[in-house]
Amino acid sequence: MIAMIGGFALQIAGIDTGRPMDLGADGSLRSQIVLSLCYLVAILLLISSNFWTTVRHSWPVFILPLLGFLSMLWSPDPLLTLRKSVALSGTVLFGIAICSKFGTVGSLRLFLWTLSSIIVASFVWVFVFPYQGVHQATDVFPFEAVHAGSWRGVIGHRTALGQLAALSFVLVLFYGRVAFTSYAVRVAIITISLVCLYGANSGAAYAVAGFMPVLLATLMLVGQRSFQIRIAALPFLTLALLMIALFGGDLATLTLNALGKEPDLTGRVPLWGYLIGLADQRPLLGYGLAAGFAKIVSPQIEGIGYGQFLNAHNGFMEILISFGYVGLALSLVLLAWQFWIAARLLISGDEEKSHINAFPLAIFIYMIGANVVESAFLAPNSWYAVLPAMAMVTASSELSALKRLGARSRSLNSPPGLLKSQYRREPKRRLGISSNRA
């Protein structure tokens, strides 16, 4: 799983950050072998578990990989698009497989172990192998010498390390007991995560570390309230998300100024202006997954003297460039559907499992925010693809369990949702045992 979320990618591929990369090349054979084995493990795990049930409940997460395969028809390099589509599909499949095989708690435990291992290894790499663990002044595109001195650990880039460090801090803070029984171990991992977060010096990662604890605490608190309060809280949560979407740019500018960062998001804002103009040239279906940006879009942007870019640095813009407005519309529908499934779980789930019920909705909200500054929706071999797949399976499986419980309660002439409380509060009457001793 370490390789599937981007750990040791440079080391496995044998990449020297001081040497230029051919982004359209076939890639490292060692990386292809390792990742192919991971995809095979995912298939075997799904076959050994409840395969068709899992796929039936989580099939919408395959919409973006399917669009990738279809975009081979209009891609300037169909083979490159095929490779990226296979990688994206395999990563999504891996996230679904581990959650289907090990369950919600088991898969979360595995993810926390993996995440913590990467963070600890990154901390070690910075001091033991600084040429690989720290951005160097000799780095060339896409590793960017401008970030010299910032930590990248075993992830390859400071932005990625910052995001994983922020996630490690938040998830271990709220779910650490699932994976680590020792309080000292949890404190140590949280501390190392914060140190790596500081070393990476990523503004977006700072935002995640500040926003996600508030979000998770709020969702868990809502999940512990009565059903009526949860229903009443949902519109306010939705309104808050809309406010963030509408005024997120202004908030980001204020935050970046406070952190001493560039308010144009390190050149992203002007880039997006150019990309919208290029998207209008192929508005319906775009340029094709990965190959369109690498072969057509990026050379045009470099040709006008704006610089080199590996991707659109915005998930929504990346979908627009890859699949056009048709693909963007489908993606927005997919996001709305995922939000609704996760919100239903938070509203109707058992209050005793509020910490688990809050997880899918928090991840989907995190993905919306992350895609404002990174091309996360279409990132293969990354936590950006594994986490939403896990969240989707979690939400679907927990809702299915609630439906089965509701059907059982109706069969016993009990109102839905009250069966568990009856079993807890009236054990003696349920077994026909009198509470009187005489």
Maximum C-alpha span of the chain: 93
More confident residue, 189 or 306: 189
The first and second tokens of residue 165, run together, are 């460090």
Contact by Cβ (8 Å): 17, 143: yes
pLDDT (tens digit per residue) in 41-69 = 777 777 766 667 777 777 888 899 999 99
Band (pLDDT 50/70/90 cuts) for residue 421 is: very low
* Cα(101)–Cα(106) distance, integer angstroms: 9
pLDDT surpasses 60 at 412: no
pLDDT surpasses 60 at 426: no
Q: What is the pLDDT of residue 42?
A: 77
Across 234-251, average pLDDT: 69
pLDDT surpasses 50 at 422: no
Q: What is the pLDDT of residue 186?
A: 96
Band (pLDDT 50/70/90 cuts) for residue 429 is: very low
pLDDT surpasses 80 at 343: yes
pLDDT (tens digit per residue) in 273-329 = 889 999 999 999 999 999 999 999 999 988 887 777 888 989 999 999 999 999 999
Neighbour-count burial of 414, counting CB atoms closer than 10 A to its CB (0-12 exposed, 13-18 middle, 19+ buried): middle
* Cα(30)–Cα(293) distance, integer angstroms: 25
Q: What is the pLDDT of residue 2?
A: 85
pLDDT (tens digit per residue) in 67-111 = 999 999 999 999 999 999 999 999 998 888 888 888 889 999 999
pLDDT surpasses 90 at 23: no
Across 15-29, average pLDDT: 71
143: DSSP letter: S
Across 113-136, average pLDDT: 94
Contact by Cβ (8 Å): 65, 89: yes
Q: What is the pLDDT of residue 45?
A: 74
Band (pLDDT 50/70/90 cuts) for residue 158 is: very high
Contact by Cβ (8 Å): 135, 144: yes
Q: How long is the chain?
A: 438
Provide φ and ψ at 321, rounded to 5°. -70, -40
Lowest-confidence range among 124-133, 171-180, 280-289, 336-345? 336-345
- Cβ neighbours of residue 55 closer than 8 Å, sequence gap 6 or more: 46, 96
DSSP E strand stretches across 45-97: none
Q: What is the pLDDT of residue 418?
A: 45
pLDDT surpasses 90 at 187: yes
Lowest-confidence range among 237-246, 303-312, 376-385? 237-246
Highest mean pLDDT among 29-33, 283-287, 348-352, 367-371: 283-287
Contact by Cβ (8 Å): 292, 70: no
**pLDDT averaged over every residue in the chain:** 84
Quick check: helix, strand or coil at residue 178?
Answer: helix
Provide φ and ψ at 267, rounded to 5°. 85, 5
pLDDT surpasses 90 at 27: no
- Helix and strand numbers, DSSP H then E, in the chain: 18, 0
Task: Please state, as a whole number, how many other Cβ atoms lie within 10 Å of the Cβ of residue 225.
Answer: 14
Band (pLDDT 50/70/90 cuts) for residue 219 is: very high
Across 140-145, average pLDDT: 79
Q: Which amino acid is at 61?
A: V
The first and second tokens of residue 244, run together, are 């963030």
Across 207-225, average pLDDT: 91
Quick check: helix, strand or coil at residue 151?
Answer: strand
Band (pLDDT 50/70/90 cuts) for residue 436 is: very low
Q: What is the pLDDT of residue 51?
A: 65
295: DSSP letter: I
More confident residue, 268 or 160: 160
In order of 225, 234, 345, 353, 417, the CA distances from 229 in angstroms are: 6, 9, 14, 16, 16
Q: What is the pLDDT of residue 122?
A: 96
The whole-model pTM stands at 0.85
Residue 145's closest CA among 134, 154, 153? 134
Residue with tokens 């990738």: 68
More confident residue, 10 or 29: 10
* Cα(128)–Cα(19) distance, integer angstroms: 21
